[in-house]
Amino acid sequence: MTTMKAMSLKEGTLAIREVARPAPGSGQILVRTLACAICASDHHYMDHPEVVRADRSRMQIHAPHDDVVMGHEYCGEIVEYGPDTARAWPVGTRITATPALFTPDGLRIIGMAPDAPGGFGEYFLVSEGFARPVPESVPPENLALIDAMAVGWYYTRIGVADENAVPLVIGLGAIGLSVVIALKQRGVPHVVVADFSADRRALAQRLGADVAVDSAVEQPFTAWRRTAWGTEEDVVDRVRLFGLSTCAVYECVGREGILADIIEQCPIGTRVFSAGGAASDTIPSNTAHLKGINLQFGGGPDPADWFEMCDLVTDGTVDTGPLVGEIVGFDGLVDAFERARSSTAPPRIVFRPDRR
């Protein structure tokens, strides 16, 4: 058996191990990892096996006794084609791909099943139809963030449909920052953001946020009302609300209780996009009903959003570099994975196998 070095999840424990090197099957490409970013979705997969087991689509698989190599935000280079492929690009071409792999047992999320190893190893697999060549002029760690950027691109595509809405982005990790980038790319004139971290607020303003709120000092919706309505007053009279800006909240925290607080504090008619989402939560549904809150969980990015963002990053329109706060090799990967859980961690820590 040919093996490779990887950080694998097995028996609930992360470690650098020798695991089986994947072999490309029908329609697949074997890719050598150049860079792979640590995402909160990796933590969710590891920490909440009950959610994985409940996934009836079987796009993610709970396999505690097998080596699961996580990592779904990646960039690599072609090593070998499997059968039934068009072989559109030469071996050695730098590529990335949407994190979905067609397998004989169905579609898998790359990095969330033992038969769909991700980018925290020396090699991983992608489906040829989901792959795109990317330029060598863009650093691989920047290219690895295309998937995170596509999340913000997806949510804002839906959110900007209401031209009267002023956005409030709560939580400024990589996904929250991707929302800020996407909103400004789409020409939204006023973007309010909130986070406890001064560093993340400063970065959001560098990326285009107009108002940055320290959530420990001021209620984010107070700042939102001041920006959108010109007053800090919480207007609850529906007649007075006529003609005022509406609110679009992008929840990018993923902690229990955040949605409940948003629903209690937000204006009537707010639309909430939950890009964070705790594993489980309780919300004041009666308050949401009375306010006419529209709450959307996940649902994207769609492939079109992903490929559009891929083009924006590769042509230089969107620069993901400011989100890359640290690069580690195999020696620091397990520690970095745990440190990435903290709200004080950089927006993205990226693994590169060539780093020592």
Q: Where are the domains of the chain?
A: 3-145+320-351, 148-297
Q: What is the dihedral of CA 338, 114, 5, 353, to 10 degrees?
A: -60
Average pLDDT value for residue range 23-41: 97
Report how far residue 153's alpha carbon sits from residue 241's, in angstroms, rounded to the nearest whole number: 29
Instruction: For strands 192-195 and 165-170, give the pairing.
Output: parallel
According to DSSP, residue 295 is labeled E
CB 160 within 8 A of CB 182: no
CB 12 within 8 A of CB 64: yes
Report how far residue 231's alpha carbon sits from residue 247's, in angstroms, rounded to the nearest whole number: 14
- Would you call 96 helix, strand, or coil by DSSP? strand
Report how far residue 72's alpha carbon sits from residue 146's, in angstroms, rounded to the nearest whole number: 10
How crowded is the C-beta side of 49, counted as CA atoms within 13 Å?
Answer: 10
For the stretch 274-319, pLDDT in tens is 998 777 889 999 999 999 999 999 878 999 999 999 999 999 999 9
Q: Are domains 3-145+320-351 and 148-297 of this chain identical in fold?
A: no
Q: What is the pLDDT of residue 239?
A: 83
Neighbours of 247 (CB within 10 A): 26
- Would you call 241 helix, strand, or coil by DSSP? helix
The CATH number of 148-297 is 3.40.50.720
For the stretch 120-176, pLDDT in tens is 999 999 999 999 999 999 999 999 999 999 999 999 999 988 889 999 999 999 999
pTM above 0.85, yes or no: yes
CB neighbour burial string for 258-279, b if at least 16 within 10 angstroms, e if fewer:
bbbbbbeebbbbbbbbbbbbbe
Task: Name the maximum alpha-carbon separation found in the chain.
Answer: 71
**Contacts of residue 342, Cβ cutoff 8 Å, sequence gap at least 6:** none
Average pLDDT value for residue range 53-61: 94
Name the band, by pLDDT with cuts 50, 70 and 90, for residue 108. very high
Specify the CATH superfamily of domain 3-145+320-351.
Medium-chain alcohol dehydrogenases, catalytic domain (3.90.180.10)
Report how far residue 118's alpha carbon sits from residue 6's, in angstroms, rounded to the nearest whole number: 9
* Owner of token pair 């994975």: 337
Q: What is the pLDDT of residue 278?
A: 78
Q: What is the 3-state secondary structure (H, E, C) of 27-92?
A: CEEEEEEEEEECCHHHHHHHHCHHHHHCCCCCCCCCCCCCCECCCCEEEEEEEEECCCCCCCCCCC
For the stretch 62-106, pLDDT in tens is 999 999 999 999 999 999 999 999 999 999 999 999 999 999 999
Q: Which amino acid is residue 143, in one-letter code?
A: L
